Amino acid sequence: MRTYAGHSTAKASNELYRSNLAKGQTGLSVAFDLPTQTGYDPDDELARGEVGKVGVPVSHIGDMRTLMDGIPLGTMNTSMTINAVASWMLSLYIVAAEEQGAEQAQLSGTTQNDIIKEFLARGTYAFPPGPSMRLIADMIAYTVEHVPKWNPINICSYHLQEAGATPVQEIAYAMSNAIAVLDAAAEKVDASVMPKVFSRISFFVNAGVRFIEEHAKLRAMSVLWEELGRTRYGITDEKALRFRYGVQVNSLGLTEAQPENNVQRIVLEALAVTLGRNARARALQLPAWNEALGLPRAWDQQWALRIQQILAYETDLLEYPDIFEGSKVMEGLVDELLDGARKEMAVVAEHGGAVQAVDYMKSALVESHRERIARIESGEQIVVGINKYQETEPSPLTAAGDGGIMTVDHAVEQQAIDAIRIWRSERDQARADAALAEVARVAKSDENIMPASIEAARAGVTTGEWARTLREAFGEFRAPTGVGEAAATGVQSDAVNEVRAEVERVSEALGRRIKILVGKPGLDGHSNGAEQIAVRARDVGMDVVYEGIRLTPSQIAQSALQEGVHVIGLSILSGSHRELIPAVIDTLRERGVDVPVVVGGIIPEADVRPLEDAGVAGVYTPKDFDISVIMRDIVRLVAEANGVSAAAGLPPHAGGAVEAAQHA
């Protein structure tokens, strides 16, 4: 039983972990901040506004030592949600454990370490696909021999569902990913070791509110995993063939509107992974009710933990054999999912496997997510509090001045910058330089990266230095956006057609087609919303500039200037909007770009006015689910900014989100 936790500083996060363990949590689940996840130090330009926001910054062995202070690593089970720099974080963890007197063979836990889903859904990649898979294989080979109780990778279907995957896609892409990982590992270890490798592969899955279908999905994954082990890798040990998975239930379905409804959603989703004994999760972490609003507080995390404890100890959930065994409904649903997944796996295989099929899978996910949003917009898919039963009483849960969430003091970032500069000045620089030189040498060879990384951790090398060394060896990479490949004019409705007509009239009045730049400043890799805005803008007839994630304010301003855009849409879900949005607007003004800027993301109500004061024309949050309304607002903003509203035959106000904010 875990809660996903970490924020601000290593010291503050350590206090939170010890408090959660005292409340009955039985394992740790470490959330790292975005600079750490993507391999940047706090003083890097790209880390601006992101330090300590969505997790804890861990920049060197001193931070890891503080983070795990007083927690016995020789007996603790620790899950680390880290991917691109997973081998580095494990190196730091190993050294911190050694300092406590624990041997590597004692350590138990999991590193997420799934890079394919980063290219598809989450965006916290650091290196190109090939070298990234090499790092994963190195880590698998090392842990199987030296850290045998460690799960070196979680194949993460979780994030695929968050990006819009259907159950069939989630199964197929996860299993295709697992094949790519196992094939890479097979090149690093002797064939006799493959049963051990196979047995240490675990999965991190999602469970949505359609919990019967979700349970069937997990039974199907169990069947496919055993089938894969027997037929492709020759595994015969029944224990090694077990489908082992951990879960955080769905965050995609959590709502900002009427957030108290999220509690019952979370409970129902937990049933999907606990009801049937033959397909039950090995580890469970539940999101908090307010994760659609921002960063949960300690009390919110306690509530999520208590849900698990009540299910485990007060209900009879765990007392019976598999209650779905022999169910015709469940068997039929599992067979249906297996058939669809096998067909989709065959398509991935035709593209050359998961690594080569990243572009195909990404565009398929963008398309699936577009279809999901269209169902919600049309009312075909009901989301209580969003498109039905919107009438509500004021929630006492969000009535406090803090908006019902925890906010990280921006001063934390400067403290981290100061601290890492002191760390560098006080370490043995010659030893750090020698360790980095060895990492660079090994990166260009076929040797395992782990021993050099562990020595670099001991030498006081920083996260950014380790990652920069590998970037120089492996090269830079930008993942596909999936926007260009998504089917054109995929959504057809009266609302879309009306906006398309307005785009035509305004474009004619302007003398050229409306052009929008969609940008994601900072390190936030949650690009699903930005992708859907870009796709819909294209569908209603705008020219779209979308370059993906991880852009600096300067890059966004330069692109806006070069492309001659009429409007800019910025997306941030990491909590860094108060710092990064004004920085983008200031940079635009410096470059002489004077166009409306709208912002979308997880933005607390208290932050809306400061953003408007900084020059933002409109703010959208998850409650603004109807993209056609957003598109209409954007078209009319462009018309007003260019003085062509009358010429385009537009009424002064449409009553959409932007107009409502401007005229409240």
Q: State residue 98 phi and psi, 5-degree precision.
A: -60, -40
User: In the β-sheet with 153-156, what is the strand arrangement from edge to edge?
Assistant: 153-156, 201-205, 245-248, 283-285
Owning domain of residue 597: 483-648
Q: Which residue has the higher pLDDT, 662 or 174?
A: 174
Does residue 97 fall inside a structural domain?
Answer: yes
Distance of CA 294 to the CA centre of its chain: 14
Task: Looking at the structure, tell me whether residues 239 and 120 fall in a common domain.
Answer: yes
Query: What is the token pair recorded at 358?
Result: 């990243």
Q: What HEC string does 183-231 produce?
A: HHHHCCCCHHHHHHHHHHEEEEECCCCCHHHHHHHHHHHHHHHHHHHHH
Angle, CA 103 vertex, CA 102 and CA 104 arms, to 5°: 120
146 is catalytic: no
Task: Looking at the structure, tell me whether residues 494 and 361 fall in a common domain.
Answer: no
Domain with 132 in it: what CATH number? 3.20.20.240
Task: Looking at the structure, tell me whether residues 502 and 364 fall in a common domain.
Answer: no
**Mean pLDDT lowest among 288-297, 348-357, 488-497:** 488-497
The predicted structure's pLDDT at residue 662: 41
Q: Which one is catalytic: 4, 93, 142, 360?
A: 4
Task: Looking at the structure, tell me whether residues 100 and 215 fall in a common domain.
Answer: yes
Does residue 554 fall inside a structural domain?
Answer: yes
Q: Which one is catalytic: 117, 159, 188, 215?
A: 159
Task: Looking at the structure, tell me whether residues 134 and 270 fall in a common domain.
Answer: yes
Q: Which residue has the higher pLDDT, 160 or 251?
A: 160
Mean pLDDT computed over 178-184: 96
Cα-based distances in Å from 149 to 94, 193, 197: 13, 15, 11
- b/e sequence 457-480, b meaning 16+ C-beta within 10 Å: bbbbbbbbbbbbbbbebbeeeebb
Q: Number of C-alpha atoms within 13 angstroms, CB side, residue 624?
A: 24
* Residues 125 and 119 sit within 8 Å (Cβ to Cβ): yes
Could you tell me which residues come within 8 angstroms of residue 224 by beta carbon, excluding any fewer than 6 positions away? 171, 175, 338, 341, 342
362 is catalytic: no
Task: Looking at the structure, tell me whether residues 112 and 239 fall in a common domain.
Answer: yes
pLDDT category, 663, cuts 50, 70, 90? very low
Q: Residue 74, Cβ neighbours under 10 Å: how many? A: 13
Q: Which one is catalytic: 369, 520, 566, 577?
A: 520
> 449: closest CA among 439, 458, 457, 459?
439
- Over residues 55-91, the pLDDT tens digits come to 999 999 999 999 999 999 999 999 999 999 999 999 9
Query: What is the token pair recorded at 48?
Result: 């601006």
Distance in angstroms (rounded) separating the CA atoms of residues 534 and 103: 50
The answer to whether residue 468 scores a pLDDT higher than 60 is yes
Mean pLDDT computed over 604-619: 93
- Helix, strand, coil % in the chain, rounded to nearest 5: 50, 10, 40
Kind and range of the H or E element at 356? Answer: none
Q: Give the single-character DSSP code of 463.
A: H
- b/e sequence 155-168, b meaning 16+ C-beta within 10 Å: bbbbbbbbbbbbbb
Task: Looking at the structure, tell me whether residues 174 and 287 fall in a common domain.
Answer: yes
543 is catalytic: no
Does residue 213 fall inside a structural domain?
Answer: yes
Mean pLDDT computed over 527-540: 93
* Residues 259 and 396 sit within 8 Å (Cβ to Cβ): no
The answer to whether residue 179 scores a pLDDT higher than 50 is yes
Does residue 251 fall inside a structural domain?
Answer: yes
The answer to whether residue 298 scores a pLDDT higher than 90 is no
Task: Looking at the structure, tell me whether residues 80 and 212 fall in a common domain.
Answer: yes
Distance in angstroms (rounded) separating the CA atoms of residues 214 and 78: 26
Q: Which one is catalytic: 63, 300, 524, 624?
A: 524
Q: Which one is catalytic: 17, 93, 125, 158?
A: 158
Alpha helices in 447-552 (DSSP H): 450-458, 463-474, 494-510, 528-539
Q: Residue 421, Cβ neighbours under 10 Å: how many? A: 13
* Residues 168 and 337 sit within 8 Å (Cβ to Cβ): yes
Mean pLDDT computed over 207-226: 96
- Over residues 372-390, the pLDDT tens digits come to 999 999 999 999 999 999 9
- b/e sequence 118-137, b meaning 16+ C-beta within 10 Å: bbbbbbbbbbbbebbbbbbb
The answer to whether residue 478 scores a pLDDT higher than 90 is no
The answer to whether residue 661 scores a pLDDT higher than 50 is no
The predicted structure's pLDDT at residue 401: 65
Task: Looking at the structure, tell me whether residues 374 and 487 fall in a common domain.
Answer: no
Q: Which residue has the higher pLDDT, 400 or 154?
A: 154
Task: Looking at the structure, tell me whether residues 367 and 504 fall in a common domain.
Answer: no
The predicted structure's pLDDT at residue 4: 81
Average pLDDT value over all residues in the chain: 92
- Over residues 441-463, the pLDDT tens digits come to 999 999 999 999 999 999 999 99
Distance in angstroms (rounded) separating the CA atoms of residues 444 and 629: 51
The answer to whether residue 513 scores a pLDDT higher than 50 is yes
Q: Which residue has the higher pLDDT, 410 or 652?
A: 410
Does residue 218 fall inside a structural domain?
Answer: yes
149 is catalytic: no
The answer to whether residue 35 scores a pLDDT higher than 90 is yes
Boundary (domain end) residue, out of 378, 399, 430: 378
Boundary (domain end) residue, out of 325, 351, 378: 378
Distance in angstroms (rounded) separating the CA atoms of residues 273 and 141: 30
In the chain, count of helices (H) and strands (E)? Answer: 25, 14
Distance in angstroms (rounded) separating the CA atoms of residues 483 and 506: 24
159 is catalytic: yes
* Residues 294 and 406 sit within 8 Å (Cβ to Cβ): yes
237 is catalytic: no
Task: Looking at the structure, tell me whether residues 371 and 491 fall in a common domain.
Answer: no
Q: Which one is catalytic: 526, 546, 607, 624?
A: 526
The answer to whether residue 635 scores a pLDDT higher than 80 is yes
Q: Residue 302, Cβ neighbours under 10 Å: how many? A: 18
Does residue 238 fall inside a structural domain?
Answer: yes
Does residue 226 fall inside a structural domain?
Answer: yes
> 264: closest CA among 295, 292, 289?
289
Task: Looking at the structure, tell me whether residues 487 and 371 fall in a common domain.
Answer: no
Does residue 487 fall inside a structural domain?
Answer: yes
Residue with tokens 């996903």: 4
Boundary (domain end) residue, out of 351, 378, 405: 378
* Residues 6 and 287 sit within 8 Å (Cβ to Cβ): no
Distance in angstroms (rounded) separating the CA atoms of residues 31 and 29: 7
* Residues 249 and 268 sit within 8 Å (Cβ to Cβ): no
Distance in angstroms (rounded) separating the CA atoms of residues 94 and 100: 10
Domain with 591 in it: what CATH number? 3.40.50.280
- b/e sequence 560-592, b meaning 16+ C-beta within 10 Å: beeeebbbbbbbbbbbbbbbbbbbbbebbeeee
Q: How many domains does the chain have?
A: 2
Mean pLDDT computed over 339-355: 97
pTM to 2 decimals?
Answer: 0.89
- The one-letter amino acid code at 4 reads Y
